Amino acid sequence: MVMDSGTRPQVQRKAVVLLSGGLDSLLAARMMLDQGIHVEGLNFFTGFCVEGHTHAVRKDRQRRAVRNSALHAAEQLGIRLHIIDVIDAYKDVVLNPRHGYGAHLNPCIDCKAFMVGKAREWMEAHGFDFIVTGEVLGQRPKSQRRDTFPIIARESGAFDRLLRPLSARLLAPTLPEREGWVDRERLLNLSGRNRKPQIGMAQAGGLAYAQPAGGCCFLTDPNYARKLRDLWSTRGERRYDFDDIMLLKIGRHIRPRPHFKLIIGREEGENHFLEGYRHRFVHLFAADANGPLALVQGEAHGEDLTLAAALTARFCQQRNAGSVRMTIVRPGGFAEQRIVTPWPVDQLPREWYL
């Protein structure tokens, strides 16, 4: 409860902010706190988020402190953050987007409507008053347009309880503005891709933020989208589980035959990560030399395994030797060894690389 100047008690309004860890949602949350709103953050983990995973796995990126950007944002704001696993519910968004995909496999409009919809459910369950996002009009080609903003508000069921403080003054007043819970005059009128105003605000407010290079999720990454399409086409159906989409983020993916592919660790961190999957996949490694761990995904028997061993040997320390002894282990633990000639670099067809 807060008092206004006439000491009339006012209910402190509560907003739930979709906190990605990026600059825009950080500023949107800050603006709400500055207006005396109680703010808590929500962050949905779809399995495709760039956040954390790759940083955590690949050693060469570990120079920067490993930290979850949304958590870091919440820490700076001093607000609670609820990180929620939506991996299963999100599948329908990826597999059957009503509004189609963006440049790659990114279903941005459906994704936004899904997330705001989940935030609406959370808001209702926790007695909050409205939802805040860091969306900026015209910043993204598909999901952040004047004609798609209302779709997101409608399909999420949030309607006019969805406030976008960074562009609010370019949009029709929402319930929190009309009711005076927030002062519309103190909201912004930003539009377009120019991020200078936001960067200026962050500097002025002493806020640190993550600068994701390729967008907030792997579905916008052409290489990742290609691997996901390959998974669906070789499987004969469009479906995935969590391990599938995690493994697409890790290692070299080489498909020498339609019925199997190899996932080969590129460095120690990835090998370590792939080790966690040894019980589920046939896996290979050099018996007497340093080298990667490789998983076989699909059905590989007989000569296929010799081919897999030769390809994996090509990435081990003894790659220039005439022969390398490779260990092949099946999921039950049965191990065998094969002596193979490392696959020559110049005979590795480009199209085998996914």
Partner 1 sequence: MPHLDARHLLCPMPVIRVSERVRALAPGEVLTVACTDRGALYDIPVWCRLEGHEVLESRVEPTGEVSIVIRVRP
Q: Contact positions toward ligand SF4, by CB under 6 A?
A: 106-108, 111-112, 143, 215-217, 219-220
Tell me which of 71, 175, 307, 348 binds partner 1, using CB under 8 A: 71
Comparing CB distances to partner 1, the nearer of 78 and 333 is 78
Q: Please state the closest distance from residue 67 (CB atom) to partner 1, in A.
A: 5
Comparing CB distances to ligand SF4, the nearer of 210 and 216 is 216
Residue type, position 237, single letter = E
Q: Could you tell which of partner 1, ligand SF4, none binds residue 111, using a CB distance below 5 to 8 A set by kind?
A: ligand SF4
- The residues, any chain, with a CB within 8 Å of residue 327's CB and separated by 6 or more, are 284, 285, 286, 287, 335, 336, 337
Interacting span for partner 1 (CB under 8 A) from 3-11, 51-59, 259-267, 303-311: 51-59
The verdict on 178 binding partner 1 (CB under 8 A) reads no
Q: Could you tell which of partner 1, ligand SF4, none binds residue 219, using a CB distance below 5 to 8 A set by kind?
A: ligand SF4
Sign of CA dihedral 53, 54, 60, 66: negative
CA distance 339 to 342: 9
What are the backbone dihedrals phi and psi of residue 196, each rounded to the nearest 5 degrees, phi first? Answer: -55, -45
The verdict on 72 binding partner 1 (CB under 8 A) reads yes
Comparing CB distances to ligand SF4, the nearer of 143 and 198 is 143
CA distance 19 to 30: 11
Q: Could you tell which of partner 1, ligand SF4, none binds residue 215, using a CB distance below 5 to 8 A set by kind?
A: ligand SF4
- The residues, any chain, with a CB within 8 Å of residue 96's CB and separated by 6 or more, are none
Q: Please state the closest distance from residue 151 (CB atom) to partner 1, in A.
A: 28
Comparing CB distances to partner 1, the nearer of 53 and 266 is 53
Sheet containing 14-18: give its strands across. Answer: 81-85, 38-45, 14-18, 130-132, 162-163
Comparing CB distances to partner 1, the nearer of 257 and 278 is 278
Q: What tokens appear for 36 in the block?
A: 């005396």
CA distance 200 to 164: 19
Q: Please state the closest distance from residue 219 (CB atom) to ligand SF4, in A.
A: 5
Q: Please state the closest distance from residue 200 (CB atom) to ligand SF4, in A.
A: 24
CA distance 310 to 331: 20
Tell me which of 14, 35, 45, 306 binds partner 1, using CB under 8 A: 45
- What stretches of the chain adopt beta strand conformation (E)? 2-3, 9-10, 14-18, 38-45, 81-85, 130-132, 162-163, 252-257, 260-264, 282-286, 294-298, 324-329, 335-340
The verdict on 19 binding partner 1 (CB under 8 A) reads no
Tell me which of 18, 29, 51, 310 binds partner 1, using CB under 8 A: 51
Residue where the block lists tokens 């407010």: 205
What are the backbone dihedrals phi and psi of residue 283, each rounded to the nearest 5 degrees, phi first? Answer: -135, 155
Q: Could you tell which of partner 1, ligand SF4, none binds residue 107, using a CB distance below 5 to 8 A set by kind?
A: ligand SF4
Interacting span for partner 1 (CB under 8 A) from 50-58, 144-152, 182-190, 259-267: 50-58
Comparing CB distances to ligand SF4, the nearer of 111 and 295 is 111
Q: Please state the closest distance from residue 85 (CB atom) to partner 1, in A.
A: 5
**Could you tell me which of 239, 233, 247 has the C-alpha nearest to residue 94?**
239
Size of site (CB under 8 A) for partner 1: 31
**What is the DSSP annotation of 150-204?**
HHHHHHTT-GGGEE-TTTGGGS---HHHHTTSS-GGGS---BSS--HHHHHHHHH
Comparing CB distances to partner 1, the nearer of 62 and 96 is 62
Comparing CB distances to ligand SF4, the nearer of 38 and 53 is 53
Distance of CA 321 to the CA centre of its chain: 40
Binding-site ranges for partner 1 (CB under 8 A): 43, 45, 49, 51-53, 55-57, 62, 65-68, 70-72, 74-75, 78-85, 246, 272-273, 276
